[in-house]
Structure 1
C-alpha cells in the first residue's frame, strides 16, 4: 500500500466526520472476495500497532507471588490462584472480569485451573489467556498486548480493525494501517482483498486507494 494514499484517506475520513463529544476511534474495514471464511481463508491473527491504539485498555493478569505484585503496578485486574478459584464460584464475577479486560495473560502453571474453571466463560469470548513467558518483563508484556489488535474473520466477508483514535497524527495512523494490512497479507492472498476503507466511529467510510 502507498503511504501517501493512506494518509490522504485518513485526512478525508477525519474531515468528513462530525465532531463528537468524545475522542472517536479510527478503524479500517477490509472487504474480502472469493473467500471461504469457514475453511482455508479463515483469518484469526494478532497484529501489533507500531504507534499504539491512542487510548489505554485494560489487560487482566493471573499470577502468583512477585509476578502478581509487579502486575498490580500496571493493571487493575490481577488475580492470584486463590482469587481465581473464588471468582469461579460466581459466573457473574467471571463475566464482569472478562468483560472489563481486552486481553488476559497468565503464569504457565495457572493455565490448568483457568482452563478447567474459567474456560466456559473465556472460551466463547475468545479470551483464553496468553501464557506469560518466564523471561519476559510483565510491564513490557502488558504494554505489547495493549498495542495489539485481534483480526478475526466471521461469516461476513468484511473485517473491521481499530487502528487508533482521531486525535492521533495522520502519519502514525497510516503506519498502523500499513501494519494491519501487512499482517493480513501474510494470512490471506492479496488478490482476495477487494477494497479497504477507513472511518471514524461515527463518520462515513472513505476508500483507501491502493
Structure 2
C-alpha cells in the first residue's frame, strides 16, 4: 500500500462554499461533509445559451459575465435561484425566464450528467472538474500585489469550495504545495 504524504500545518479553513449551479453565485456554508466527488450538491446544474446550446463560460465569454452575481443555493437536493429576497426552483419555467432576463438573451437551466455523457434535458459540464477547488489567502495576497486595484481580489471571483487562511510564512501561489498530498481538517483527512 502506498503511503500518502500528509501536509504539516498549512493554515485554517476560513470559508466553505457550494455552487449548486455552475457559473452562478454560491452559498457560504458553516460546515460540510466531504465525500468522493467533493461537496454534495456542488455544481450539479448548468446553464446553456438556448440560441446555440453552448454551456455558460463567464471567464471566456463576455455575455456570461453577469452570472456570478446571480446567487444560487441548494434546498434539499434541488438548486434554487435568488433574486430580490425570493428563491425560485431552478427547474421551473420561471427560473429560466429569470436567468434569460438577467442575461438579456434566452438561457435554460439543466441538471448536469457526468462529464462527457449526455441525457435528455440534461447537459454535460464543459470541463472535467476536480472534486474540490481550494484558494489560499497567500495566493490572493500575491495577486492583489500584482494589480493596480488590489480591491478586485475577492475569493468569490475564483469560486472556490474552500478558502484557506495561510500562516504569514507562506507567500505566493502556495496551492501547488498541496497537490497530491493528503490534507486534514479537524479529525478528518481529505
The two structures share one fold, judged by TM-score above 0.5: no
For this structure pair, what is the TM-score category when the shorter chain's length is used for normalisation? under 0.3
When the two structures are superposed, what TM-score results if normalisation uses the length of structure 1? 0.23
When the two structures are superposed, what TM-score results if normalisation uses the length of structure 2? 0.24
| Larger RCO, structures 1/2 (Cα 8 Å, 6+ apart) | 1
